[in-house]
């Protein structure tokens, strides 16, 4: 069983509908119940900001600050992390628009948010992700990259460096500055970053596919088959230098076409994650709403198991309204599966009774009007 990373305290100040609130946890799972609009998802969002990025709503930081607060918001968390006990503080100082948040780990200013991944890995599943298979490919790419990031924290840096290089290529082409050596330099950089990104995605999908295969017999969820499409399809068994050369050549040959289009038309930023329901041999987007949800839950939980196996530390799971549409038997099976992953899970729902099958495996909190009661 992987080591359990668990949050022991969460303190919020001027965060969404919480002026000041604290949650003391004893290491078990945390169930958050309360009426619509009580602040359950807000609490999940606060925990999600203990990972790099903008959290599970991808909100602008200014929007997170409580309406009417004098300054910004802050989150403080104490946890038994991957490197032992750790205290994390994050937030912004004013309620105004900012793209950066402050981050202190054990009292020291962190250089980058990537340092958070030394202490915990977080995975989430929210109702907003229900349309993942039918929605925009950019959402699936983001989902895929989050899966990669939780195993390979360097992936985020690669992706942002690639974006930056691509933007400067697009700008040169847009301005009609076809300087061959300047462009070739940028394209070489894009090729090495872009192929590294694609290979990291491919590797993660390979690992996840193997794990899904191994646990297929016992999983209560349909199994997903996963493929990358839209960029160098089926070529990832070739040596990476060859792939880089080929992508650089592709970019070089497509300068005029891309200038006309106003953007770079080939690259890892155009890739898509294609998911099939294996047992039904059906594309996920053509499955029923319930089947899509079951596929997604199965996928996220399989990934959680993979992260636990590979890092030796079970990720913290944020599962927003995951049990909402399940009958009692399926709910109990789901809770057993979540518990069996060995990590701490945060789960929400409007009805406390929905979680009775968890028994004393969870601490149950009631949330009402920006206050938390145990």
- Interacting residues with ligand ATP (CB under 6 A): 16-17, 34, 36-42, 63, 65-67, 350
Task: Rank residues 119 and 331 by Cβ distance to ligand ATP and give the closer one.
Answer: 331
Task: Rank residues 306 and 345 by Cβ distance to ligand ATP and give the closer one.
Answer: 345
Min dist CB 35 to ligand ATP, Å, is 7
Task: Rank residues 67 and 100 by Cβ distance to ligand ATP and give the closer one.
Answer: 67
Contact status, residue 285 vs residue 274, Cβ threshold 8 Å: no
Task: Rank residues 17 and 225 by Cβ distance to ligand ATP and give the closer one.
Answer: 17
Min dist CB 1 to ligand ATP, Å, is 31
Two structure tokens written together for 32: 């958050």
Contact status, residue 123 vs residue 116, Cβ threshold 8 Å: no
Two structure tokens written together for 226: 């996963």
Q: CA 130, CA 165: separation in Å to the nearest integer?
A: 33
Task: Rank residues 38 and 284 by Cβ distance to ligand ATP and give the closer one.
Answer: 38
Q: CA 83, CA 135: separation in Å to the nearest integer?
A: 38
Cα separations in angstroms, 347 against 30, 284, 350, 354? 6, 25, 11, 11
Task: Rank residues 33 and 117 by Cβ distance to ligand ATP and give the closer one.
Answer: 33
Min dist CB 40 to ligand ATP, Å, is 3
Min dist CB 142 to ligand ATP, Å, is 20
Min dist CB 59 to ligand ATP, Å, is 8
Min dist CB 351 to ligand ATP, Å, is 10
- Spatial CA neighbour of 204 closest among 221, 232, 233, 228: 228
Strand-pairing partners, residue 148, are none
SS3 percent helix, strand, coil of the chain, rounded to 5, is 45, 25, 35
Length of the chain: 374
Q: Which residues are annotated as a binding site?
A: 34-41
Half-sphere exposure of residue 83: CA atoms within 13 angstroms, side-chain side: 10
Min dist CB 324 to ligand ATP, Å, is 9
Min dist CB 49 to ligand ATP, Å, is 14
CA angle 284–289–293, rounded 5-degree value:
70
Strand-pairing partners, residue 123, are 317
Task: Rank residues 63 and 253 by Cβ distance to ligand ATP and give the closer one.
Answer: 63
Min dist CB 67 to ligand ATP, Å, is 4
Q: Which residues are annotated as a binding site for ATP?
A: 34-41
Q: What is the 3-state secondary structure (H, E, C) of 293-360?
A: HHHHHHHHHHHHHHHHHHHCEECEEEECCCCCCCCHHHHHHHHHHHHHCCCCEEEEECCHHHHHHHHH
Q: CA 146, CA 100: separation in Å to the nearest integer?
A: 19
Diameter of the chain by CA atoms?
67
Task: Rank residues 41 and 90 by Cβ distance to ligand ATP and give the closer one.
Answer: 41
Task: Rank residues 149 and 317 by Cβ distance to ligand ATP and give the closer one.
Answer: 317
Q: CA 300, CA 103: separation in Å to the nearest integer?
A: 27
């Amino acid at each position: 069983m992987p080591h359990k990373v668990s949050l022991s305290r969460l303190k919020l100040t001027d965060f969404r509908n919480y002026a000041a609130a604290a949650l003391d946890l004893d290491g078990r799972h945390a169930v958050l119940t309360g009426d619509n609009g009580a602040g359950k998802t807000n609490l999940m969002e606060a925990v999600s900001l203990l990972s790099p990025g903008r959290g599970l709503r991808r909100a602008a930081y200014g929007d997170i600050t409580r309406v009417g607060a004098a300054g910004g918001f802050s989150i403080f968390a104490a946890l038994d992390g991957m490197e032992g006990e750790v205290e994390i503080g994050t937030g912004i100082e004013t309620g105004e628009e900012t793209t950066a948040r402050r981050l202190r780990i054990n009292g020291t200013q962190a250089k980058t948010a990537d340092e958070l991944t030394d202490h915990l890995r977080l995975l989430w599943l929210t109702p907003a992700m229900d349309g993942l298979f039918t929605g925009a490919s950019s959402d699936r790419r983001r989902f895929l990259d989050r899966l990669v990031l939780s195993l390979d924290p360097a992936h985020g840096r690669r992706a942002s460096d690639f974006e930056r290089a691509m933007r400067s290529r697009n700008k040169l082409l847009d301005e009609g500055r076809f300087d061959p050596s300047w462009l070739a330099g940028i394209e070489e950089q894009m090729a090495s970053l872009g192929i590294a990104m694609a290979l990291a995605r491919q590797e993660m999908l390979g690992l996840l596919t193997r794990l899904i295969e191994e646990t297929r017999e016992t999983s209560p969820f349909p199994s997903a088959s996963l493929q990358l499409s839209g960029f160098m399809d089926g070529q990832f068994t070739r040596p990476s230098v060859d792939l880089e050369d080929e992508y650089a050549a592709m970019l070089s040959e497509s300068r005029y076409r891309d200038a006309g289009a106003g953007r770079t038309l080939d690259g890892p930023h155009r890739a898509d994650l294609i998911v099939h329901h294996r047992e039904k041999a059906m594309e996920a987007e053509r499955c029923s709403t319930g089947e899509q949800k079951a596929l997604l839950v199965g996928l996220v939980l399989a990934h959680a198991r993979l992260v636990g196996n590979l890092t030796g530390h079970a990720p913290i799971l944020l599962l927003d309204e995951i049990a909402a549409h399940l009958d009692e038997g399926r709910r109990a099976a789901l809770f057993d599966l979540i518990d069996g992953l060995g990590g701490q899970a945060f789960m929400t729902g409007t009805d406390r009774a929905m979680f009775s099958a968890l028994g004393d495996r969870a601490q149950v909190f009631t949330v009402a009007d920006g206050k938390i009661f145990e």
